[in-house]
Structure formats: C-alpha cells, structure tokens
Chain A
Amino acid sequence: MSQVFHDIEKKIINSLKENPIQTPETLENSTQLSPDQIRRGIEWLKLKDLAIVDESKSSVISLGKNGLDSFEKGLPERRLLNLVKDGPRKLSDIQKELGFVFGPAIGLCRKNNWVETSSDQIIIKTIPFELPGEKTLQQIGNKKLSKEQINQNDFSELLKRPNFIIEDVIKNKKISLTLTAKSLDISNDSGAIDVEAEVPEILVARTHPLKDTIDEIREIFVTLGFSEILGNLTQSSFWNFDALFTPQDHPARELQDTFFLDGISAKKIANPEQIRKVSDSHKKNWRYQWDVNEARKMVLRTHTTCVTIKHLAENKPDEARIFSLGRVFRNEKVSYKHLVEFNQIEGIVVGKDANLRNLMGIQREFYKRIGITKIKFWPTFFPYTEPSLQTMVYNEKLGKWIELFGMGIFRPEVTKPLGITKPVLAWGGGIERIAMLKYDLDDVREFYNNSLGWLRSNTKCQ
C-alpha cells in the first residue's frame, strides 16, 4: 500500500532530496512554509521513521561592549602607540585623550617595553606590527562566529579582557532523510490525502447544558399530561409566604434567608376576600397579629409554589395537572453546592384521584424517565403541605442516597381560605442538582460561569 503524505511532508521531503542536510530555517526558505508547519512536518516524518533530526549544541562567539569599542577604534594599547609614534608626548595629555582605556594601555606598553616614560614624558621605543588578538577582533567584528573558526591563541588573549567576548550556547537541528525516505517516490502520489492526520477543532455553537436538562424535564412533564404555567420572579410576600401558611415571624421570612426588594411594596396583592381569609387563618392557627403591610413587601420568589398557588386561587379547577418551571432565589453564601439563584420545577395535581400513593407514583415515573430507578420516600416538613415527603434517590456513581424532590398535599389551612375545595398534590425541587448528576459536576457554580472551555467541550448528547 502506498503511503499518503500531507502537503507539508511532501514539500519537506522534496527539499531534503535536493539539499540533504538542512536546518529548520533553511527549510523555511526553500519550502515557503511557516515555522509552525515545518515543526509539525518534521515531527510527523520523524514518527514515520522518514526523517532524522540531529540535535547538537555549539558555542557562538560575538563581541561584547568593550570588544566592539576596540573593533572600531583599535585595541587600547594600539591607540596609545598611535598617539606617541610621531614623537614624545606629555603623559597627562595622553591620559586625557585615551580616557578609561589609558590604564590597561599604558600597563601593556610598559610591560612589553614598547614605550619609555620619565616624569611626564612618554617616548616610543618599538612599534609592533601586529598585536595579539588584533586579527581575531577584526575577524569577529559585528558577526556571530562558531568557536571552531577562531584562532585559539588570539581568542584566549581577548577572553582575558573584561566585556570583550560573549559566548552563547545554541541548539542546532540538522534534518536529513532516512534511507527509506531517500528511496521514496512521492511524485507517484495517488491523490489520496492523509485521513489519519489531526484536524483543527470547530468552535461549536450549542444550547447551554443546563437548558438541555431543563428542556428534558419540561418535556417529561408535558408527556405525563401536565401543562406549563409561567409567573413572575418578583412576588409579594403574600403569595410567596402568607398564602402558603408561612407565619410572618417564620425564620424563612427573615432577610438572611429571603431576598427582599429594597423599599418596594405591592399596592394590590390579592382580592379583599382572599386577604381577609388568609389573615384569619394565620390569626387563628398561629396566634399573632397578621400585618397586611408585611404581606405587601416584594421578594424574589423563594419557590415556584407561589405561581401555582396563585393559579389555583384564580382558577379553582376541579381537575388539573399543572407545572411551573423557572428561577428561584435564596439569600445564601455562594459555594460549590449553593447558588443564590437556581431553577426549580413545581408540579400539582388537583382532582378526585389526588392521593399520596399517586403522588409517589408520579415521582417514580418521573425519576424512571431520567434514568433513576432506585428511590424511596421519607417524611419531612413543609409549612404548607401535610403529609409532607421527600424523595431519596440512589446515585450509583456516588454510591449514596441523595435528597431530591420534596412533595406533599396542600394543607387545608392553605387551600380553604383561597376557595380551593379539592385536594391538591404538590411536589418540586431544584434542577441544577439533577443536572450536576447528569454532567458529573461537583461544583454547581460551573453552570453560571459561562466558561467557554467547559461549554465548548461538554458532551451534548447523553
């Protein structure tokens, strides 16, 4: 079977056939590919055993600050010799002209007996033709040379001087073809492409994973015969609490649990009869002075139950299957398991068949459809239902029971004042919890982080 090559690979192989040993830089020039393409191409060829990459290190020499200075003006001692070669001079004048190189220059000239000094006089004795290091200095100049190209005696002379020489270690890559590659005939290409090669990723557009779960749950309830109703996220305390038999001094109604809207009260909360009857029920059963102004205070709904109870109070149906789904709020510290704002579903059944076993049956059916079969029911407490239960579901991955939906039958203290005469089953719970199990998340905040890394990589179809 003939091998298939990427265009990049072909260009590199062809170039190496013409010019057998190359660096990545020369390959860039000969193939007109980008450095990144060359890098990938060499990598692919190496994996296929078609290219040899010979990596070595070498020293590169260039001139430092003082070296460059001497390259332009001559070595310090040469400069001194030039100044005195035409006759005796005053030492102090020479010092002025040479500046900071005077010291090393005069030292070297005296040591080598090229000059003679007496009091303030300096006189030439011999002029050497070529000084040690001078030739190499010119050879290096502004260039970078490999160490091997340089005369070692000269070089050690220059190396002694401060800031004359800079030595860098660089990595060299030499690329050549293996014997197999050399004998390849890539011009005889079938036109096939490398179907095994990596391809770029597409930046996906998609619905939010949490929305997928919300839609899924909505659809389950619709197919179970329930109709969806919507309601406001801002509600009067009357519908969020009072109508649900939660006394006005109940801890849930404190600022630390519920979001009250600063300075905002509803003018009209309900009809006068509803208000009177709810107020009477509170006074009789909870024994306190019910205050209509407390009921007017606007809150961010703490559950969707306020939407369903309002619907029931307005429509008083004899038979109904209704659900409401949306955001609810709690004044909590945000953490990996708590959000201030999350989604809740709440469903109700009104009618003659509304009994506890049916309520449990609806739960069982719902959980079955989201893939949970191991469930049990425990008693619990809600101010507005009696009896009240909670579902515990077994999570295989975590190996433990988790609390999900709460449920119950609306208390007569809730339904009677609002003129609802038939029993009402109600249940509800958070959706993020279910979605966390679905997406294997252990931090609920991820749903609202809008981190593109997560959104773009999350599994869509589960």
Chain B
Amino acid sequence: MPVIELSYSRLQKLIGKVTKKQISDSLPFLGLDIESEEKDLVRIEYSPNRPDYSTDIGIALGLQGLLGIKTGSIKLTVKKSKNYVITVKPTISKIRPFVTGIVAKNGKIDDKTIKQLMTMQEDLHFGIGRKRKKSSIGIHDLDKISFPLTYTATDKNHKFIPLNSKKELTISEIITDTETGKDYGHLLGQSSKVPIIIDSNKKIVSFPPIINAGITTVTTKTKNLFVEVTGINKADAEDMLSVVATILQSAGFTLENVQISGAKNSSPKFQEKKISVDSSLINQTLGLDISTSKIISSLKKSRLSAISKGKKIICTIPAYRFDIFGPMDLVEEVALGYGLQNFEPTVSPSQTIGKTNPVSLQLKSLNQAMIGLGFLEALNSSLSSKRVLYDMTNRNSKNIISVLDSKSQEHTILRDSIFPGLIENLSRNIHESYPQKMFETGNIFNLEKPISEKINLAVISAHKDANFTEIKSVLQTLLKIGFRIQIQTKTAVNPSFQDGHCANIIFNGNVIGIIGEIDSTIIENYKIRVPVVGFEISLSDSILKSL
C-alpha cells in the first residue's frame, strides 16, 4: 500500500478550525493508517482505491467531511474556453490512442505543493495508471506553451531537451539512457513511432508516457498549469484527470476547459454519477435503524451529495470517486460518515452447530499418538529448495514443481516429501541433547492433472543406538494402536536410505511409504554424528482414506 508524508500544520491550514489531535484521531476513520509520526510530520498509508488521498489536499477534503467542517460533494467548476485545443492525429491510434487535459489558472505553488503534486503523480502512475501502462500524467507550466497542441506520432530521431536534462537528446537516447526511459520504454512496444505532444511552434511539450520537456517544468514561479493525461483507454484517462482536476481546484486554482478533437477523442466532461439505494438495504447491511435524513447527512460527511425520494436515497457521485460501483459502495460511505466508532457490536444467537473437519480431527488424534510414542512435532514450510529436497538427500529431482521469481532461495520448490526437511532440521540441532525424535504431518505435492495434494506423515529418530527395528516398532505400533491397520515391510532400494536397511511400507497391497536407516553419506553431508532412522507414509492413501 502506498505511503505519503504529511505535515500537520499544513493539514490544519487546509482543513480550517481543527487541532492536531483531532486530525490524528480521525485519520484512521478515513481508512488511513498512521505508519509513524515525528513532531509535525506524519506518514500515512492509504488504499490505492482512493487516489484522491495521495495528497494532503485530498485528505483535507475527507477530514473536513468527517469532522463536519465542510460536507457534501465537491463540484468541479470548469470555465468553458476556446483557447486550449489539442488535435489528435490518426497516426497515434495504434500506439497510445487517447489524450485528455485541463488548464488550471491563478494558483499559488510553493515547494510543498510541488512535492505533493509530484507524489500524487507518481502514485497515480503506479496505481490506477498500472505503472503508466493504462494512463499517465504530465503537468506543465501553461505559460511556456503556445496552443493549439497536436498529439501525434513521431520517429525516434526527433530531438528535444527532456525534464532534468541540460542537453538535447533524441527519443532513442531518452529510451536507452535515461532512468524513466529504461523503466517505461517497454510500454511503447516494437513500434518505430512514438507518441508526442507538440505545440504550435513545433516544440515538444511531452513524450508520453516517458517524460515531459524541460521547458515546461513547474517551479514555484509557475502561476498557471496545463495537465495532460494520455492512455490506452479513454475512460481510465479521464478518471485520472478527474482526480488531478479535483485536487487542483481544491488547492485554489480555477479550471478551464481543454478541447480535444479527432480520432475518437473528445473534451473531458467530468460527469457526475447518480446511484440510488434503498434505505432498507443500508440499515439491513449495517445492522442499524437510522432515518433517511441521518443517512443523507452521513453520505455528506463522506463528501457525497444525496437527496431522498420516499425510501430511496439518490446519491450524486463526483467523477473522481470512480471507486464507487454501486449501492453497496454507498452503504460503506454511510458507515464511514456515520462513524465506525458509533457501531455497537452485537452477537446474534446462532442456530448452527459447529463441526471440526474429520480430516483435522484424525490428524489431531494422530498427533496425540505420536506424542505418546515420544516424538516432538516439527513444522516446515511446504515451499522448500532443491538443496534440501533433492541434493542433500540423493533424491531424483525430475518432476519438480517450482514457483516463479521467488524472493527467497530457500523457498523455490513445493515439497513432494516431508522427511528431507526433518533431516535438515537435525543438522541444525547437532549441539542439542540426543535422542532427537521428531515427526511432521503436512501437504505434499505431485504433478498430476495438474497438481495432486496429499497429506503425509514423516517420522525420524536420531541417536547413537537408532536402528531399523526401533523405527519399524514405532510405525507398527502407531498404525495398530491408532488405526487398527496392519502393514508389511518389503525390502526396497532407495537412494536416501542405506542399502539392505530399507523397505517399502505396504498396506492392502499398495506401497504407501518408505522406512529405513538414512544413508550414511546424507548424515555425513549434514555433519550429523549419530545414525538416523525414519519413515514417511501417505496418510491420504491409508488412514485418511478410510473416512
């Protein structure tokens, strides 16, 4: 989840009459977790479904509602203007077909506002922009651009001075040599042409979704902004723009319309949505019995607008709240506006009778039997490594099931057996007193349509007198006393076990496991200094099957 850094004093200025404590107490009830605090600074984590919370300006709007300082929805006022036009050329339609934009005038921009806008931009790129793939933003100094603009495709020899650079670079150089080029260049695919926005003087304004031009850089001297959003989907691009427009208006800018023409594009409308919801659905879902007027005031505290029509509540949702899909989302907005701290938890008497799963019950009694036989329960991950599962125990690694791109080298392969893990456990305990007797039950995995999962039991005993007879006695007693099962052991050869000291475990004519003395080379490789005996059986093929 994304994290942003805020300053309490700035928030206080943005919200109005509010104390620092009121802010820190209220943040969690907007769904914002406080990660850490230090004097005036607070780091908070927000959910990616609320990109408007990627700036302190957006959070201030939410807090104003929750604290009852300003409620109801935020309406965008966009002045109609014919001065700002972007023409979209058809050549772009197969590369990154959509562009939209807005002009924001007469705002004050200090360092902190620039920082907030930059984090907002990055968070929007990462979240709803899906790392700039779906949509990306460019924010420019309006006064450095001469309209009309053209959104078109160009070839990679085209040169301009990109943001944060002193010299002219070709587009190829930008893609191969700059950081953002390396990170996002792949989004342009194999096409020889790339998207650009150029102004009426043929100067490049932006090379989306990679980088802006240096000349349009926003500084503390900037008064007027031009924001463009490009993308592969029109609705997504407009969603993103609606967040930026809402934040800029709330930061004190006046918005002016940008006209977009050509190739399926059109000027952004920032259309509000209307959703109606029954007050009974709200009360039933929340377990409350509150009046429609209380529902409406709660929605307003969540910065939405609502009116009632009989039992129906008709809610108006501003464009930037595209996280709201339908009536259930409004139920949550009511809950937040009403205040979760005002909900009294209740327990409804249950008519149902609870039941432990029979498999869990059987595994539990098996555990008790193993404890009675003097064995300690171990737990290993089902995700293990080639070293533990195969290399160290001489086992064949032909049919392994591996996971992609694991961040941990010790967790790359799903185990097909439990005892290799137990032997590795012994190797980490050679300084502890012997005898060391351990067992583990758990899932094992095999490649079969596409994967079969079974439950196995593995048991090992390590001490100076450990031998085959001892471990076979354990196996035999466990199955006879625990489950009235008779098994046989038939001589077998297995690379993990000592020749002549190894047998298959047979139940009803089927091999259900293996038993024996662990091969001395394995013990030596692990630097264990006592003999080790053990067995592993499939419980799914024996006792669990008899359910």
A contact set with B: CB distance below 8 Å:
203-208, 210-211, 215, 218-219, 221-230, 232-234, 249, 251, 255-256, 259-262, 264-267, 285, 287-288, 298, 300, 319-321, 327, 329, 331-334, 339-341, 353, 355-358, 360-365, 376-381, 386-389, 392, 403, 409, 411-413, 423, 447-453, 455-456
CB contact list, B341-382 vs A, under 8 A: 341, 343-348, 350-357, 359-360, 364, 367, 370-382
Q: Does B485 contact A (CB under 8 A)?
A: no
- With both chains docked as a complex, state the minimum distance between the C-beta of A398 and any C-beta of chain B, in angstroms: 15
What 7 pairs across the A-B complex have the smallest Cβ distances? A357-B287, A381-B47, A355-B287, A225-B350, A387-B332, A360-B345, A222-B354
**Nearest chain-A residue to B372 (Cβ)?**
A205
**Nearest chain-A residue to B373 (Cβ)?**
A205
**Contacting pair B428 A450 (CB below 8 A):** yes
> Per a CB cutoff under 8 Å, which of A363, A409, A451 touches B429?
A451
**Contacting pair A332 B340 (CB below 8 A):** no
C-alpha spacing A429/B278, complex, angstroms: 32
- With both chains docked as a complex, state the minimum distance between the C-beta of A287 and any C-beta of chain B, in angstroms: 6
Given contacts A203-B435, A227-B355, are A340 and B285 in contact (CB under 8 A)? no
Q: Which residues of B contact A234 (CB under 8 A)?
A: 414, 445, 451, 453
**Contacting pair B403 A261 (CB below 8 A):** yes
CB contact list, B431-461 vs A, under 8 A: 432-433, 435-438, 443, 445, 447, 449-451, 453
Q: Does B265 contact A (CB under 8 A)?
A: no
**Contacting pair A356 B354 (CB below 8 A):** no
User: Which residue of B48, B287, B288 has the most chain A CB atoms within 10 A of its CB atom?
Assistant: B287
C-alpha spacing A224/B349, complex, angstroms: 10
**Contacting pair B364 A215 (CB below 8 A):** yes
Q: Which residues of A contact B41 (CB under 8 A)?
A: none
Q: Does B326 contact A (CB under 8 A)?
A: yes
C-alpha spacing A319/B405, complex, angstroms: 42
**Nearest chain-B residue to A356 (Cβ)?**
B286
- With both chains docked as a complex, state the minimum distance between the C-beta of A172 and any C-beta of chain B, in angstroms: 33
**Contacting pair B453 A232 (CB below 8 A):** yes
C-alpha spacing A365/B286, complex, angstroms: 18
C-alpha spacing A341/B415, complex, angstroms: 13
> Per a CB cutoff under 8 Å, which of A224, A233, A334, A456 touches B354?
A224
**Contacting pair B408 A379 (CB below 8 A):** no
Q: Can you identify 30 A-B contacts, CB atoms within 8 angstroms?
A: A208-B379, A211-B367, A227-B356, A230-B360, A232-B451, A259-B383, A262-B403, A262-B404, A264-B447, A298-B450, A298-B451, A300-B403, A300-B414, A334-B407, A334-B411, A340-B411, A355-B285, A357-B343, A364-B347, A377-B341, A377-B343, A378-B28, A378-B29, A379-B335, A381-B48, A386-B331, A412-B327, A448-B379, A452-B429, A453-B432
**Nearest chain-B residue to A449 (Cβ)?**
B428
C-alpha spacing A259/B403, complex, angstroms: 6
Q: Which residues of B contact A255 (CB under 8 A)?
A: 404-405
**Contacting pair A260 B340 (CB below 8 A):** no
**Contacting pair B380 A448 (CB below 8 A):** yes
C-alpha spacing A447/B414, complex, angstroms: 19
**Contacting pair A378 B31 (CB below 8 A):** yes
**Nearest chain-B residue to A447 (Cβ)?**
B379
> Per a CB cutoff under 8 Å, which of A233, A452, A456 touches B382?
A233
Q: Which residues of A contact B379 (CB under 8 A)?
A: 208, 210-211, 447-448, 450
**Nearest chain-A residue to B30 (Cβ)?**
A379
Q: Which residues of B contact A362 (CB under 8 A)?
A: 347
C-alpha spacing A69/B356, complex, angstroms: 85
C-alpha spacing A339/B375, complex, angstroms: 26
Given contacts A234-B445, A320-B352, are A206 and B403 in contact (CB under 8 A)? no
C-alpha spacing A376/B443, complex, angstroms: 36
Q: Does B83 contact A (CB under 8 A)?
A: no
**Nearest chain-B residue to A375 (Cβ)?**
B345
> Per a CB cutoff under 8 Å, which of B287, B377, B382, B403 touches A211?
B377
Q: Which residues of B contact A208 (CB under 8 A)?
A: 377-379
**Contacting pair A358 B347 (CB below 8 A):** yes
Report how many residues on chain B are interfacial, defined by Cβ distance under 8 Å.
Answer: 91
Given contacts A206-B371, A262-B401, A411-B328, are A331 and B443 in contact (CB under 8 A)? no
Given contacts A331-B407, A361-B345, A450-B380, are A285 and B325 in contact (CB under 8 A)? yes
Q: Which residues of A contact B113 (CB under 8 A)?
A: none
Q: Which residues of A contact B49 (CB under 8 A)?
A: 381
- With both chains docked as a complex, state the minimum distance between the C-beta of B179 and any C-beta of chain A, in angstroms: 19
Q: Which residues of B contact A332 (CB under 8 A)?
A: 407-408
Extra inter-chain contacts (9) besides given A298-B450, A356-B287, A389-B340, CB under 8 Å:
A203-B433, A206-B377, A218-B356, A233-B445, A259-B404, A265-B450, A331-B407, A379-B332, A381-B49
**Nearest chain-A residue to B234 (Cβ)?**
A287
**Contacting pair A353 B348 (CB below 8 A):** yes
Q: Does B178 contact A (CB under 8 A)?
A: no
**Nearest chain-A residue to B405 (Cβ)?**
A255
Q: Does B402 contact A (CB under 8 A)?
A: yes
Given contacts A264-B401, A452-B376, are A387 and B331 in contact (CB under 8 A)? yes
Q: Which residues of A contact B382 (CB under 8 A)?
A: 233, 327, 341
Q: Does B182 contact A (CB under 8 A)?
A: no
**Nearest chain-A residue to B341 (Cβ)?**
A376
Q: Does B491 contact A (CB under 8 A)?
A: no
> Per a CB cutoff under 8 Å, which of A228, A262, A321 touches B357?
A228
**Contacting pair A218 B360 (CB below 8 A):** yes
> Per a CB cutoff under 8 Å, which of A205, A224, A409 touches B285?
A409
- With both chains docked as a complex, state the minimum distance between the C-beta of B281 and any C-beta of chain A, in angstroms: 10
**Nearest chain-A residue to B429 (Cβ)?**
A452
Q: Which residues of B contact A218 (CB under 8 A)?
A: 356, 360
Q: Which residues of B contact A456 (CB under 8 A)?
A: 376, 432
Q: Does B410 contact A (CB under 8 A)?
A: yes
Q: Does B180 contact A (CB under 8 A)?
A: no
**Contacting pair A267 B376 (CB below 8 A):** no
C-alpha spacing A210/B133, complex, angstroms: 43
Q: Which residues of A contact B134 (CB under 8 A)?
A: 249
- With both chains docked as a complex, state the minimum distance between the C-beta of A200 and any C-beta of chain B, in angstroms: 10
**Contacting pair B376 A204 (CB below 8 A):** yes
**Contacting pair A451 B428 (CB below 8 A):** yes
CB contact list, B205-225 vs A, under 8 A: none
**Contacting pair B355 A360 (CB below 8 A):** no
- With both chains docked as a complex, state the minimum distance between the C-beta of B77 and any C-beta of chain A, in angstroms: 27
Interface 1/0 per residue, B408-420 and A, CB below 8 Å: 1011001000000
Q: Does B329 contact A (CB under 8 A)?
A: yes
- With both chains docked as a complex, state the minimum distance between the C-beta of A457 and any C-beta of chain B, in angstroms: 11
**Nearest chain-A residue to B281 (Cβ)?**
A423
**Contacting pair B406 A358 (CB below 8 A):** no
Q: Does B336 contact A (CB under 8 A)?
A: yes
C-alpha spacing A264/B399, complex, angstroms: 12
**Contacting pair B405 A225 (CB below 8 A):** no
Given contacts A225-B350, A320-B352, are A340 and B428 in contact (CB under 8 A)? no
Q: Does B235 contact A (CB under 8 A)?
A: yes
Q: Which residues of B contact A358 (CB under 8 A)?
A: 287, 345-348
**Contacting pair A356 B453 (CB below 8 A):** no
Q: Does B425 contact A (CB under 8 A)?
A: yes
Q: Which residues of B contact A341 (CB under 8 A)?
A: 381-383, 411
